Amino acid sequence: MKEIDIEEFLQIRHGIPVVDVRSPSEFKRGHIPGANNIPLFDDDQRARVGIRYHRQGREEAIMEGLRIVGPHMEALAKQARALAGQQRKLILHCWRGGMRSESMAWLFERLSIQTYVLKGGYKTYRRYGRARLQQPASVVVLSGYTGSGKTDILQALEREGEQVLDLEGLARHKGSAFGAMGQKEQLPNEHFENLIFEKWFRFNLNQPIWIEDESKMIGKNGIPDELFAVMRSAPVIRLEMSKSLRVERLVQEYACFDQQKLHQGIDKIRKRLGGDKARKAHQAIDQCDFHTAIDITLDYYDKAYLHGLKKRNHHQIYPLETDRDDPDCNARMLSQKAPQLLNDAYSFHS
């Protein structure tokens, strides 16, 4: 068994399977992306060992663990051997590098599997991820009214080789009252944060990192405090696009959804929209007049956007007009003009 620190772990893990030996519920709540779960204990068994530890001490907890694991050692061994494959190497971790990882490492070594154990376990991974978010980074926030196609522009930038953190994509939510439509179920917040860490680990922090302007919460997922602080202090490119173009884009995105879901979205913002406007929006949906319904809802979203923009440092907001809804074209315009517009805030390196 070889104990490795987080830096070495991040360097070698892509060629060696990673094994998370925590319980299924711990793994489901959040895990290192790409890891495989071979739990030493299931959830009930882990609870039993924990109770024994608190009531009778470490030695009795170990004895309880041995009673539980004994009959299952062969099954654990088979899973490990299959995962290790011909290279016969595994990296494993538990919560904080304690008895669970030590026990499984002992078993894997008996199978002649070269075993690396992450020092400090999953807890170290989480701590390292948050620390990385606090390091100086050349973040550029892409802002603009709802319907400006910001997500599509970010994806176009990424295709062109730019560094992009698509928070809405990772959160499986578009951030508005209608944001869950067409999306998969959101992940637990802990795992959402882990997906952010993984993207951040791959970034060159001296090069521009493009992020869409977001509120702290994206649906049920919250942006880590460390990252949100960076976003709030970063320079902002405000994409300015006409309302007519935005309405047309949103009609294309949302008119395909079940009308009942659209009604539910209107109901979520009824108080802010106002009773009369909400009623007119509902009527427009019933009549399949989606242009009118979206035009009405944008009155609320545009006001909310301007209110949020006022909280930012106006010296760090750079307006950029576009007269076309073409994500590829707008992405090229951004990548060409961003260095000039943001020269006062960051020094970009080619």
What is the number of alpha carbons within 13 Å of residue 118 lying toward its C-beta?
30
Residues paired with 326 in a beta bridge: none
Pairing status of strand 217-218 against strand 221-222: antiparallel
C-beta of residue 293 within 8 angstroms of C-beta of residue 281: yes
Task: Provide Rg for the chain, Cα atoms.
Answer: 25
The CA–CA distances, whole Å, from 30 to 72, 176, 195 equal 25, 25, 10
Angstrom distance (rounded) from CA 181 to CA 150: 17
Angstrom distance (rounded) from CA 317 to CA 235: 6
Q: Is 94 one of the annotated active-site residues of the chain?
A: yes
Catalytic residue (choose from 94, 256, 288, 329): 94
Active site residues: 94
